[in-house]
Amino acid sequence: MPQKLFGGCACGAVRYECYTDPLVMLNCHCRDCQQASGSAYAAIVAVPKPAVQIRGKLHHHKIVGQTGRATERGFCPSCGSPITITSERRPDVVGLQAASLDDPSTYKPVMDVFISSAQPWDNMDPKLQKHTHGYPDPREGSNRRRDPMTPHQIDLVQSSFAKVAPIADAAAVLFYERLFEIAPEVRPLFHGDLERSPINLYHIRRP
């Protein structure tokens, strides 16, 4: 059964309802969202635009965001509560401000976007996906720009390999043995004794 979302502004002049599951829940750390929210980021619930019904009149503020495309933010003209955000990049999607939900506890973000603009006092959850720039559009496929690893991810990789370094050769053999156990069809691609093979996982991965 589709999720039901209800919410509105602080004064009650604007109300909305949405009868579908969110496309994604994310924290946007771009400078525009910081200024619009008056905080470190905007907590956004992205839903299909046709699924949202709004009662009451919203005023809108339109800017050209960091992506180079226009972004429009809807807010209550009476109390100023931010309610919606739309973008030229995804005109079929509307973002609902998570704090405007009647039950904000249902907000479960899966990623942080525009972390290149995040403030030093913004303590992000390391468990969430991190994107230096905007939300990756699945329609862009393999042509989408790949974001670099986050400092947390880099630290995990480096600390893991530091533990393996003292037993690098043995670890490489164990790795390949397990690889061939899972995917025996790739074994012919490797020739000779693995212990003497120039293909060494540890040395390949080292910077």
pLDDT, tens only, 110-167: 999 999 999 999 999 999 999 988 776 655 444 445 555 666 667 777 787 788 778 8
Task: Return the pLDDT at 203.
Answer: 47
Q: How many structural domains does the chain have?
A: 2
Task: Return the pLDDT at 63.
Answer: 87
% of the chain at pLDDT higher than 70: 80
pTM exceeds 0.85 for this model: no
What average pLDDT does range 186-193 have in this prediction?
67
- Residue 10 covered by a domain: yes
- Residue 141 covered by a domain: no
Rg (CA), the chain: 23
Indicate if the pLDDT at residue 51 is higher than 50.
yes
Instruction: Find the domain containing 16 and state its range.
Output: 4-136
Q: Are both 179 and 119 inside the same structural domain?
A: no
